[in-house]
Structures are given as C-alpha cells and as structure tokens.
Structure 1
C-alpha cells in the first residue's frame, strides 16, 4: 500500500513509519514540524533501510494536501497530526479546536475529493473521560474532561457521520492509552519541545540531568499509592497496532471499527519512577504537587477486542519500556538537536 502519515515525523508517527516500511509499504510523511524534527526522517531511513517521502505542510492547508494526493497514489491515511498536551489544551482551547478539528475536516474533505476513503485515526483514551470503572472496554460511555480529549471525541463523531453519509469509507478509531519507550536502536524517540507534558520524557530528562526533579501531579488520588494510574504502552507495540489496523481495513468492506490499544495493566506514577531508576541506574528525585486540571485518577485498557479482531497484543513490559526510553535519552540527551 501507499500510506500517508499525517504527523508522521512525530513520536508515534515515526515509529509507525518504520513499521510500515519494514512491512513493505510505501510511506509519505506530511508534517508541519511544529512538534517534531526533520532529522527523524533520516533516522527512520537508517532503521528501515529505505526512506519515506516527506512533504512539509499543515493539515489545515487544503492546497498542500491536494498536492500530496495529486503527486502520490495514496491508498490509505493514518491521521496522527494534532496538538496533544492536556494542560495546554485547558489554557488554549481554541488553538486545539482549530488545529485538531479544523485540520481534520480539511484532511477528510481532500481525501473524499481524491477518492481515498480508508483512514486510521489516532484517537485517545481521553475520550472515555473519567471512567466509572476499569479496565475500559470500547463500549464504555464517551465524554471528555479537557479540550484535547473533546477534540479527539469530536473527530471520532465526525468520522462516524462521514461513514453514515457514504458507505464507501472504511475507518479505524484507535483509542490508545499512554505511549512510552523508543525504538531499540536509540535512533528515534520522544523529543518534546520545551517542558515535557508526558511522564516518561520528563522522568528521562530528570535522570539524564536536564531537569532537577519530577513534579508528580497529585498524591491524593484513590489509588494504591495516591498517584495517578495509567496504562503505559511501548511505542513500538503501538506502531504495530496501527499496522494491524491498516491491514484489517485493506481487507474490509466499509464501516467504523474501534479498538483500544493498551497493555491492560495500570501503572502508577511512582511505580514508573522506580522502574526508570532501575533501568537507568540514576536517581529520579520528585515532589508531590497539586493535581493537574483535566487529569483522571486511573485509566487502563481492556485490549481483548484488538487481540480478537487484529491478532494484536502488546508484548513489551515496563522494564523494556524504561530501558528503551533510557537508551534513547542517554544517546540523545538533547533530543534530535
């Protein structure tokens, strides 16, 4: 297949590009590099042994998108492009709605014009809001506790409406939990701009000496140690989940399919800190601070549907996630710069 990855130079996109290239697909990366580096493209090519095509552009730019579909015979799209920081979305909701929702509308319109109606959407467990119980199955009620989550939920609903209006569309909604880790080569990994919003890169930057300590947002949650519990999934497992979904769509006849991508195991912030200290051999000092607006106490997946439908399971455990993240961070202490 010829696969277009919007946001394909980013953290999850770059790892998915590697898996797609390894599986024999041709890959076109479309990215505005607002939260990624063009250097990731060279690193991806080194891992895969061949390059992905790259087009720099913004998904809100219909002209740029049309040029991609004109130049490349795209068969399917994996839509990663979007802003993704929960805290920032609370502070700048209109920015998130413009970038994530308006950008998605532009992409889907141009796809329809080009007759490309197969899309894997990078959704999120945030669409489950504050779940009444765990583990979370795909039929749980949907809501959102922050503008980032609402943008993902709106895009999911938009795609359902598109599929109802035109039976030619085949759509996968991948609700994934908390991606961590890096490719085992240490060549690509998570390289956030500025202060990291996610736990693992912040912990890694503390361990490598870039930051003095970790702020743990909330120590009074109703969890075993009082800190937030999440389902951390290795980014390579996650990338392979996207590949499995692409393959399923390629052999499917329309409709909307929803799959959770997670391990099915919850890990607390302090468990993650201890595991990272063990993997890195470095201390990770931390301070408990106030809860962060929009966060929930605990959230982990029931991934049984993906196992049944896609034959996909997460295989990497927490020590491996931490070891690979530390390899990336220690070999690239300043990221791609």
Structure 2
C-alpha cells in the first residue's frame, strides 16, 4: 500500500512511519517541520534500511497539496499534522482553529480530487470532554472538550463523519488515543517537544537528564488513591501498531467512518508514574506539589475492547516498558534531535 503520512516527522508520526515500513508499505511524509525535526526521518530510514520521500509542505497550501495528490498515486493517508499543545490553544484559539481545521479541509479536498478515499485520523481522548463516564466508550454522545485543541478534534471528527455519510466510497478510521509514552527500543527516535514540555513524562525525563531543575505536580487533593490525577498511558509503539491495524481493517471495510479507542484501559497516577520512572531508571526525580491546573480531570482512561474485537489490536507494553524506553531515548539524546 502507498501511504502518505501528514506530520510524519513528529513523535507519533515517526514511530508510525517506521512501523509501516516494517510491514512493507511504501511510505511518504508530508511535514512543514514547524514542531518536528527532519533528523527523525533520517533516523527512521537508518532503522528501517529504507528511504522515505519527504514533502516539506504546509498542509494549508492547497495548490501544492492538490498537485502532490494528483501525482502521488496514494492508496491511503494517515493524518497527524496539526497544532497540539492544550495550553497554547487556550492562549491562541484562532491559530488552532485556523490551522487544524483548514489543513484537514484542504487534505480532504485534495484526496477527493485524486480519488484517494481511505484515511486514518489522529484524534484524541480529549473529545470525551469532562462529563463522559469513565472508562470512555466510543459511542458516548455528545462529544465535547474543555479547550480549543480538543474542540478542533471534535469538529474534525464531525467533518469526517459527514464526508463518509455523503459518499460510501470513503473509508475513515478515527483513532482516539490517550497519553503516548516511551520511544523506540533503539533509543534512536523519541519525543522531542519544543520548549517546555506540556506532558508529564517528557518533563520527568528532562528533569532526570538535567535539562530542568524539578517537576511540578499540579495538585495532590484529587479523589484518587494518592491524590494525583489518573491517566491512561500507552506505549508509542503500541500506538503505532494500532495505526497499521486500522489501515488493514479499513482496506476490507465497506465504507463509512468508525472510531476506536487506543489505550490500555486503566489509569496510572502522577505519583505512580514518577515512582515507576525512578524504579526503572534508578534516577531520582525531584518534584514539588503545586495548585491544581485548570482543566485537569480527576481521571481519564478508555475502554479499548472495540479495538481488540474489530482491529485485533491490544496494547501489550507495561508502564515500566514505557519509562525504560523513554529514559534510553532521553539519556542518549539529552538535547533531543538537536543534541
């Protein structure tokens, strides 16, 4: 299968590109490198022993994207590209709505014009908002969010369902995943966030490697066993394999749009993750407890049984595996891809 991966140089994208290559697919990447590094693709090529054609484009450049699809002959698309920092989306909502929605609309128009109608979309558990019962199930309605980033995912999901309903030749998979953690076991590729990390585990790793002085735990008075929020953490390699499973399922699907949760089905607390990291690595992580952060939920994890039943996919790696692989990446690449 010939597959275009938008945002393929990013954290989840690069691991998925490597997984696709390992399954024998012909993969090309579209990325504007706004929040990623070309070095990640060079390392993917090294690991795979294969070259990857990269198109350095902004997905909002409709003439260029349309021309790319007209000549590309793609069988399928995996769509990761987009802005993704929750806090930044609150400060810059117009940038998030403009970028994430416009780029997806351009992509869909270019796909339709070239008769490429199979798509896997990178969605998020944020679409369940703060009122859905835990564990989250895919049929929950109405979807919602508590920040602009999350709302862009909700809106794009609706666009995709409407497109699929309008034309039965579209086959669209919507993957709602939780908290990606870890790195490739080689330590060659991993998460390299720009600036201060927005997520817990890369921040822990940067403190452990000496790039940050200490970690702040935002609140220890939640209604959980240790007072800190519970999240569903999933190894990025399990996540990557979920995209391959979704592609294979779509190829045999009659048409329409279908959503699947990709997670482990249970939550780990902030303090449990810190303790597990210290145990897995032998490195102490200094932290202080601060006030709750606006918008943080007490617990967030999903029911992954639909993905197991329909895609034959299940997360297999433990939190210890995630943190061991994370530390291998960070300790070998103290400054990320730029180090």
Q: TM-score range by the shorter chain?
A: over 0.9
**1:115-164 alpha-carbon deviations (Å, 9 max, x no partner):** 11110000000000014432111112311111111000000000011111
Per-residue deviation, 1:218: 2.1
SS in 2 for 1:336: helix
SS in 2 for 1:121: strand
Question: Is the 1:87–1:294 contact (alpha carbons within 8 Å) kept by the matching residues of 2?
Answer: no
**1:97-126 alpha-carbon deviations (Å, 9 max, x no partner):** 011111111111111111111100000000
Per-residue deviation, 1:206: 0.4
2:304 maps to what in 1? 303
Per-residue deviation, 1:183: 0.3
TM-score, normalization by structure 2? 0.98
2:117 maps to what in 1? 117
1:75 maps to what in 2? 75
Q: Quick one: distance in 2 between partners of 1:3 and 1:192?
A: 25
Q: List runs of 5+ in structure 1 lacking aligned partners.
A: none
> Where do 1:16-95 residues align within 5 Å?
16-95=16-95
2:294 maps to what in 1? 293
Q: List runs of 5+ in structure 2 lacking aligned partners.
A: none
Q: Quick one: distance in 1 between partners of 2:204 and 2:63?
A: 40
Per-residue deviation, 1:287: 1.4
Q: Quick one: distance in 1 between partners of 2:27 and 2:71?
A: 13
Question: Is the 1:87–1:293 contact (alpha carbons within 8 Å) kept by the matching residues of 2?
Answer: no
SS in 1 for 2:337: coil
Q: Quick one: distance in 2 between partners of 1:96 and 1:290?
A: 27
SS in 1 for 2:172: strand
TM-score, normalization by structure 1? 0.98
1:261 maps to what in 2? 262
2:192 maps to what in 1? 191
Please tell me whether residue 2 in structure 1 is matched to residue 16 in structure 2: no
1:204 maps to what in 2? 205
Q: Quick one: distance in 2 between partners of 1:87 and 1:216?
A: 16
**1:274-298 alpha-carbon deviations (Å, 9 max, x no partner):** 1111122111111112222222111
2:126 maps to what in 1? 126
Which shifted more, 326-335 or 41-50?
41-50
Q: Quick one: distance in 2 between partners of 1:236 and 1:45?
A: 17
Which shifted more, 161-170 or 230-239?
161-170
SS in 2 for 1:82: coil
**1:255-288 alpha-carbon deviations (Å, 9 max, x no partner):** 1111000001100111111111112211111111
The alignment covers a number of residue pairs equal to: 337
* RMSD value, Cα: 1.0
SS in 1 for 2:217: strand
Question: Is the 1:131–1:299 contact (alpha carbons within 8 Å) kept by the matching residues of 2?
Answer: no
Per-residue deviation, 1:70: 2.7
Question: Is the 1:120–1:172 contact (alpha carbons within 8 Å) kept by the matching residues of 2?
Answer: yes
1:147 maps to what in 2? 148
Instruction: After the TM superposition, list the runs of 4 or more consecutive aligned residues in structure 1 that deviate by more than 6 angstroms.
Output: none
Q: Quick one: distance in 1 between partners of 2:318 and 2:296?
A: 24
